[in-house]
Structure 1
Amino acid sequence: MKKLLLILLICLPLTGIAKDKNDNSNPKYLAGAVTLTDGKVTFTKEIKAPGLSKQEIYNQLLDWATNRFKPDGKLNSFVAYTNEEAGEIAVQAEEYIVFSSSALSLDRTRIYYQFLIYAKEGICDLEMTRIRYWYDEARDGGEKYTAEEWITDDMALNKKQTKLAPICGKFRRETIDLKDQLFQQVTDALGQKLLGTQTTANVQQPATLSTQQPTLSATGELKTVSIDRLPSNLNELATQGRITLTAENGETIDIQTESWSGLGQMLGKNVAYILFDQSRIAANALMGQNTTYKVSFYFNQSTQPSIIITCKKAMAQPMTANELKSLNQTVDASKQYTMYIGEITQIEMR
């Protein structure tokens, strides 16, 4: 009873508390962001990986889990169970979530959770559940809570559900961020596997490209089109023109035609591939600092782009020259490269 009263008092919005540096009204963390299954806080996600077999998905994610979850000092994370035939991997995880850190103070909690992976043909199901916390452990043994009593809508949000509560809210926010991070890491791991098994044909040309070449113009209005309107010889056309990369912050740079590695499909989505030598510091910094960008194609020495492909960055994958040669990419063997893969969100053409 005393513990429940303490929880209620801590989680109630208080006056005079300094505004947290994070946005406590971000919809990402508000009503519905934390879901319950059979009364337990559970986060789930299905990742589609067409082109990868159940065995390939299992092997790739077992390798990822083995490297991601392992003992570290006082923390004991490990792969607790595997069933290759069923495609199942279960992880027992223990790590720190740091809320704030300075030379004078460290505000953190241990978080314990179970992470489950179910590999299937072309699909991977993920589940994060059995979440618990051990907070302020250095002070009189600290306090221990379950996610069900600590980060649900009725505990971690204000009455109107428009803001995170001061204390419970930070646990909710950082747990959701950890969940997103884990799901993205799995997505990246599958993307790396898929990239490693692709041939030049499916790296450079999705099956939906038009075989009838449209007439490209440098004049007229840009109109949004579907991917099947793009010319199938876009890579060849690109070598005869100019390509620019424009980041979400407005900065634009010219990219060499060999940096444009074409179109393809990954994890069921249309994507564009860009390859940069890691010595191109400005280009790599631009890609690293922005999540969306536009690739513009100029033909016949025009100052107006004929095609603009807008992308949301999905993955940045360092690759050696030998790995790229296996994809029939023409590269300098003495250099290191990064392949940027962007999900295509819009295509415009004149």
Structure 2
Amino acid sequence: MKQLLLLALFIPTLLWAQDDSKYLAGAVPLENGKVVFAKEINAPSFSKDEVYDRMLDWANGFFSEDNNRVAYSDKAQGDIAAIGQTNLVFQSTALSLDRAEMNYRVTMECEDGKCIMKVAGIRYEYNVSYQREPEKYTAEEWITDKYCLNKNKTKLNRGNGKFRKKTIDFIDEMFASASAALGVQAAANVAPAASVVPARTVTPAPQVPAKEGYVAFAADKIPSTLLQILPESDMQVASAGKPDTKETSAEWKGTGNMFGKSIASIVISKDSPVYKEIGDNGTYSLSFFKKGENGDPWLVIDCRKQGETAEGQQITIIGEIINVWMK
């Protein structure tokens, strides 16, 4: 009888361990060092336009809540991009709520008979009771195999393992919802990014004359150390059409990747003359200066506008990075 009782006590533990196998080695895929969850949804009976229309309808519904929005759509190319935010709830009781805010980007490339979805740019904010400011992590430093599994890759770490599990579960559910929009029953597992058909070839930006006194960087080769100090610099935005008209109150939001293009995002006032000058597809420069100092900028990023989203009087502009110059 005692043996049966002991077995009954161990069964929940064994089932829990079996459930965890889904989240172990390889469950969080990497693409060029970045966490990228990818899913190819096949719908062979639909044309490119039909796939696009269904996915855009789905995206407008799925990303309709606060801080979620469709940021870019182009029917001719079949491209859709969205910005998402959700709360990952780890534990909820009458006395406490343990959760983290997760921000992410989704891209959808619609073609004849299929849609390729990718989720990237995952970031977390986690409130800790004994700290005034929330802790912030990126997926690359928090939920990858390197940081989230034990040495033998047989167990999740206690602290960040819950982030990995909830992230995978959320993305599985989102892919399942998108698949249903195309009338497809989703597969159980998320495909690694490397197994998905590569994005279409991107035409390189034309070469421009070197900027005197500056060193050029490829858009996808900006050193991470430079990106980390951009929020601490003063930023100035100027349209290529009217470089003397400048905006100094815009907010830097960071870099990323969208449909194979390196992008930069800023938030600017709807009433800004620079915003009005940039228009629909204009080019503009982001100049960065040392805090409180005048003179030449230490970094200049030239961009071509790709899309925007509005939130009240503020506009988030997404621009393709076409040149990077450092003094």
- TM-score, reference length from structure 2: 0.50
What TM-score, normalized to structure 1? 0.47
